[in-house]
A and B are shown apart, each in its own frame.
Chain A
Amino acid sequence: DTGVSQDPRHKITKRGQNVTFRCDPISEHNRLYWYRQTLGQGPEFLTYFQNEAQLEKSRLLSDRFSAERPKGSFSTLEIQRTEQGDSAMYLCASSSEGWMGGETQYFGPGTRLLVL
């Protein structure tokens, strides 16, 4: 399968614990995006990378959230000191061009996080 993959698909954790999610984009895509989606809502943009550079961060991305893409390939999203409000689906997408038009973002299946 050459699509976007995410790991794990599901994560249950206790409040206060740290969690890390991984995203493997489509191999030739240089742009990678993270979104958060809560029940009944559309995805909300968190951050994006072009190659290894993190170019945009939403104000939704609090200090407890950090994302990396060290070699310009896979990316990780870490949430420190998780809170119940962090429970959501975390989606990753990748594309090969800029998102101001002319590009297609391909989404992964998401990681569903439940914080108890």
Chain B
Amino acid sequence: GQQLNQSPQSMFIQEGEDVSMNCTSSSIFNTWLWYKQDPGEGPVLLIALYKAGELTSNGRLTAQFGITRKDSFLNISASIPSDVGIYFCAGPLNNDMRFGAGTRLTVKP
């Protein structure tokens, strides 16, 4: 089953605000992945992290691989309406890809 805990479960923010979400686990991960899923579609990879402490950006998105290798963070700056969706963290564990339950983001114009 899923061993990645994402928080918050949902967020309602105003357009232009910054967003922070995180993912924690009791297991150590060597790779952290962040995906976004729109309704009725498959997840799309946003950022991949491969080293503890790594900080990687993709446009307005920034993600960090926690030093303990048991957590990761995703930040979105200056949110826009198209940021709406569900954000999942994921990582390979024991020849299995694990996903968190997701953070649902709503952006109010």
* A8 CB-CB contact with B under 8 Å: no
Q: Is B41 within 8 A of A110, CB to CB? A: yes
Q: How far is the CA of A108 from the CA of B58 in the complex (A)?
A: 22
Nearest-CB distance from B45 to chain A (Å)?
5
* B63 CB-CB contact with A under 8 Å: no
Query: Which residues of chain B come closer than 8 Å to A56, judged between CB atoms?
Result: 95-96
Total A-B residue contacts, Cβ distance less than 8 Å: 61
Chain B interface size band reads 20 to 34
B101 contacts which of A33, A35, A42 (Cβ < 8 Å)? Answer: A42
Q: Is A104 within 8 A of B102, CB to CB? A: no
Interface string of B34-53 (1 = CB under 8 A from A): 00000011111100101000
* B30 CB-CB contact with A under 8 Å: yes
Q: Is B44 within 8 A of A42, CB to CB? A: no
Main secondary structure of the interface of B (DSSP, over half): loop
Q: Is B102 within 8 A of A41, CB to CB? A: yes
Q: How far is the CA of A43 from the CA of B41 in the complex (A)?
A: 12
Chain A interface size band reads 20 to 34
Nearest-neighbor residue (CB-CB) of B90 within chain A: A42
* A85 CB-CB contact with B under 8 Å: no
Given A99-B92, A100-B31, A101-B30, A45 contacting B97 (CB threshold 8 A): yes
A45 contacts which of B42, B88, B96, B100 (Cβ < 8 Å)? Answer: B96
Mark A residues whose CB is within 8 Å of B: 4, 33, 35, 40-45, 56, 58, 91-93, 99-102, 104-110, 112
